[in-house]
Structure 1
């Protein structure tokens, strides 16, 4: 049996070997050059409340209230622990060097298309312009394609959010269209742009990066 599996693996394409046989619901700790992505916990609450209580952050994402209180942070950590949605992962973005909390990111399955997940992320304003969002997104994207049987990852950003659009484009996403989504902090709808990264494109980009 082991020999048969070995022969099968050798005969499959690089793309197919990176695809799992079934959806995995686990959310492994992710390591990158400067970051550790792990589950949010109680020790993050004060830093989370401090960084998230910022209109410049809250108005750029859809589900963050403003003002953002310690109670909101506590509720977020609790819901992240109790999350029962298969395939959804919520991560705290922290510095590998000292564990400092920088923001959050995650993936969530599309309820209408099992082959697609959506990525989201935010970084506290004092940590902007240092490449942390792009680094976290790369780690999350690689995990999603390697551990889940998905065809593509979607990303959305507010039309005025130039920095987030730059992160999305650096990760290889392609523009798909525009639309409107509700924003809790704004108290209404906001215009967004929609981008998609498919598995084939990710594999090409991954091969290019690995071959440098």
Structure 2
């Protein structure tokens, strides 16, 4: 999973712009209260929390309610989406983007429930998220990060057009300390080219 920053999205930061955002097999739209059982079931997983910055483990009902509440507001270059299967509408994860801090590029983050790993859903979701960000936002660049021990997320980022920038350290609540990460970025001009060329080769 991509390292995400939970504290970036507060109540002033509604899930933005037209919904849903669709891909071949997944759809991005707002998480709902009737998603709470699936959110709790999927998010209460140490293997996910250890790859994120601020996801708690164990993950409680209150944490699930807070996740839904954070997606219920909207402003500027920020969005918070549920990832759903198009065929059933089932919640399978989260994708979002937001400003890390004033003057810094907008950061992309996501997580996917473990039963849905390895099937290409994350790549579809990140493609849709990036398209949403650059179509409806004003940013010229997106950033993302993954743990150095997470090759699956590295592949998702590369397939989505992100380019490796450098390595750094980040504190992970789920991992219980600081962990090394790889940082990536994607410029709007590169995104436009990738759309023209048919995305990135698998």
Corresponding residue number in structure 2 for 1:93? 83
Aligned to 2:174, what secondary structure does the other structure show? coil
Aligned to 1:113, what secondary structure does the other structure show? coil
Q: Is 1:76 equivalent to 2:67 in the alignment?
A: yes
Provide TM-score, normalisation by structure 2. Answer: 0.86
CA distance in 2, matches of 1:48, 1:28: 20
Corresponding residue number in structure 2 for 1:56? 47
Number of residue-to-residue matches in the alignment: 185
Structure 2 vs 1, CA of residues 106 and 41 (structure 1 numbering), >3 Å: closer, same or farther?
Answer: same
Corresponding residue number in structure 1 for 2:124? 135
Aligned to 1:205, what secondary structure does the other structure show? helix
Moved over 6 A (4+): none
Corresponding residue number in structure 1 for 2:58? 67
CA distance in 1, matches of 2:19, 2:172: 29
Q: Is 1:204 equivalent to 2:189 in the alignment?
A: no
CA distance in 1, matches of 2:53, 2:196: 33
Give the Å deviation of 1:112.
2.9
> Which segment drifts farther, 152-161 or 86-95?
86-95
Structure 2 vs 1, CA of residues 25 and 100 (structure 1 numbering), >3 Å: closer, same or farther?
Answer: closer
Residue by residue, what CA displacement relative to the aligned partner does 1:35-78 show, whole Å, maximum 9, x if unpaired?
A: 11101110111100000111111101111100111221112112
Which of 25, 28, 36 pairs up with 1:45?
A: 36
- 1:1-212 equivalences in 2 (<5 Å): 25-26=16-17, 28-81=19-72, 83=73, 86-113=76-103, 116-209=105-198
> Which segment drifts farther, 158-167 or 101-110?
101-110
Give the Å deviation of 1:162.
0.7
Aligned to 2:70, what secondary structure does the other structure show? helix
- Gap runs ≥5 in structure 2: 1-14
Structure (1 or 2) with the greater helix fraction: 1
Give the Å deviation of 1:207.
0.1
> Which segment drifts farther, 144-153 or 38-47?
144-153
Higher relative contact order (CA 8 A, sep 6+): 2
CA contact (8 A) 2:77 2:139 kept: no
Aligned to 1:206, what secondary structure does the other structure show? helix
Aligned to 2:71, what secondary structure does the other structure show? helix
Structure 2 vs 1, CA of residues 143 and 113 (structure 1 numbering), >3 Å: closer, same or farther?
Answer: same
Corresponding residue number in structure 1 for 2:11? none
